[in-house]
Chains A and B, each alone.
Chain A
Amino acid sequence: MEAVAIGFVALFILLFLQVPIAFGMAIVGTIGFGHIIGYGPALKSIGNTATDMVMVYDFSVLPLFILMGNFVARSGISHDLYETSHAWLGHRRGGLAMATIVACGGFSAVCGSSLATVATMSKVALPPMLKFGYDERLATGSIAAGGTLGILIPPSVALVFYGIMTETDIGQLFAAGVIPGVLGIVLYAGAVAVITRINPEMGPPGERIPWKARIRSLRGIWGMVLLFLIVMGGIYGGVFTPTEAAGIGAFGAFVIALLRRRLTVRITLDALADTGRTTAMLLALLIGSLLFANFINVARVPNEIADWFASIQVSPLTVVVICIAIYIVLGCILESISMMLLTVPVFYPVMQSLGVDLVWFGIVVVVVIEISLITPPIGLNVFVLKSMLPDIALTKIFRGVLPFIAADIVRIALIVLIPGLSLFLPRLME
């Protein structure tokens, strides 16, 4: 236990000195493992982990879904998504902000990255909101918050990682993410409604669009909707494995982007190489995290924590709440995927021994991590947004995000208290 405590301190010192998280975890994990078991096996496990854990068929789900997102992001679909939700919601008070959130949700249904969602939607949704006299706080807050939906609504990179680390079925995790994701959209839209009810000036209503035009606006997005239905329906119906679905999704997104005449050779090569680099970076993180997990496991930390919880006889729910609190604190300093890779190896054996459903816990973890994307001081989404809008003060964006954080707290409470929200769909799959 002391070795692990020293390990964690050493890790954080390395991280603060700007050592990449993958390297930090690999260094501390290898030295810690070597200290307990011996340096020969520790070095050998580097070679093992760095080859065997990379050349795994199921991992190709990662680059394929990322590629799907990259093609989607370059296909210009975000405009159409926004147009459509604008046509349906724009006449309400705060309607454009709601449209932004729905468009973000739709975008993240075909793209697994929060940052990509924020970067894309800020270009599409911000100018019209400001043009219609929306308050900057509401406008930026809704984009930053809407972007967090990307990490949960399948396909989700975070859920893939969680599935790999805990050996939980990725298809089940994806199915479990659907309802909490939709709940997120509803609660965020609710937050907009509350804000504009209190202060109507923040989001004046727009013109009402006739039904005919609303229906016509669906034309631009049916391709993506179909793709999402094929990919998720295929996984859900047991027709495809997640990896196969990712292959179909990536190829489908490629064809759609091609048909929309958005792909030049250069853009295609960019999307492909981008995907390759992101994959390399993520798997380097995964290798580091597995080496770190080796160390944690031989030090028997999860067992000791589980024993301790058993000895003080707290309910599993209390333990989950403690985990959530830890995530919220860690979320202030760590980036989302790294936070997950660092903590899940410690938490999941504990949860397993307490009889907690790992699919449900996965959703809880991802939603809490989502919150960290918009909370100060690091909220990554806020920084992405800020980098694209140099004229708007950071504090203004953080203030704009506050009501959405409140909505997130409501959501996490609902998900924790009503496991059925996450587990209903995966149970149907069995």
Chain B
Amino acid sequence: MLDRMVRRLDRTLGLVLAALMFAMMLLTFVDVVGRQLFNAPVLGGNELTRIAMGLLVYIGLPLVCLRREHITIGLLSGLIRGRMLRVQHVILNLLFAGVTFIWARQVWIQGEAVERSNSVLMFLQVSTAPYIYVMSVLTFGAAFIYLILAWCYLQGATPKSGEEAG
């Protein structure tokens, strides 16, 4: 059940991520060619890229959590075994959940600040606030993933990573 959910989430987010990445590549390419050859860059291309960057990172974030791809030091990884390893996993995932939760909350607050300031992007004439809210929600998602992971380890299960499940 859980594995299937992980797989589905991994695939869906991966598809959105891939689409966004492709769009960003095309945008930059068209923008450069337009500027160099026809003296006609994409209007607001720069701002679109900024928004795309934000979304790219924050869509990637839950995926990185799902696949446990955050870089860690592997030096002592073999030292803790058995029951202690389980305890360690539970505590660490709770800690990660806490960290990402605070992170998500601060990003949300930042979004509110941007919204209050009524500032808009020069070319696109839109506020970045809605995108920042999306980024925050995705981070809350990552925090939730860590909570579930902690719960799984507590039950004595070793949850599959997104990659294994996929």
Contacts and interface: CB of A to CB of B under 8 A. Distances in A.
A and B part of one assembly: yes
A19 B94 CA distance: 11
A227 interface: no
B120 interface: no
Interface string B11-32: 0001101111110111111011
Contacts, number: 183
Interface residues of A, number: 57
B110 A247 contact: no
Interface in A5-28: 15-23, 26-27
B122 to A, nearest CB: 13
A279 B92 contact: no
Interface string A379-399: 000000000000000000000
Q: Is the interface of A mostly helix, strand, loop or mixed?
A: helix
A96 B109 CA distance: 58
B17 A283 contact: no
A56 B46 CA distance: 9
A284 B25 contact: no
Interface in A232-250: 239-240, 243-244, 246-248, 250
Interface stretch (A47-55, A160-168, A170-178, A198-206): A47-55
A326 B47 CA distance: 40
Interface string A263-298: 000001100110111011101110000000000000
A51 B56 CA distance: 12
B18 A273 contact: yes
Interface of A: 15-23, 26-27, 43-44, 46-48, 50-51, 54-57, 59-60, 63-64, 67, 239-240, 243-244, 246-248, 250-251, 254, 268-269, 272-273, 275-277, 279-281, 283-285, 333-335, 337-338, 377-378
Report, nearest first, the 8 A-B pairs whose CB atoms are least far apart. Answer: A280-B60, A247-B28, A20-B70, A47-B110, A272-B18, A47-B106, A276-B17, A251-B29
Given A273-B15, A276-B56, A280-B58, 17 more contacts: A16-B73, A17-B88, A20-B70, A50-B103, A50-B107, A50-B110, A51-B107, A57-B49, A246-B28, A248-B29, A251-B25, A251-B26, A273-B14, A273-B17, A280-B56, A284-B61, A378-B75
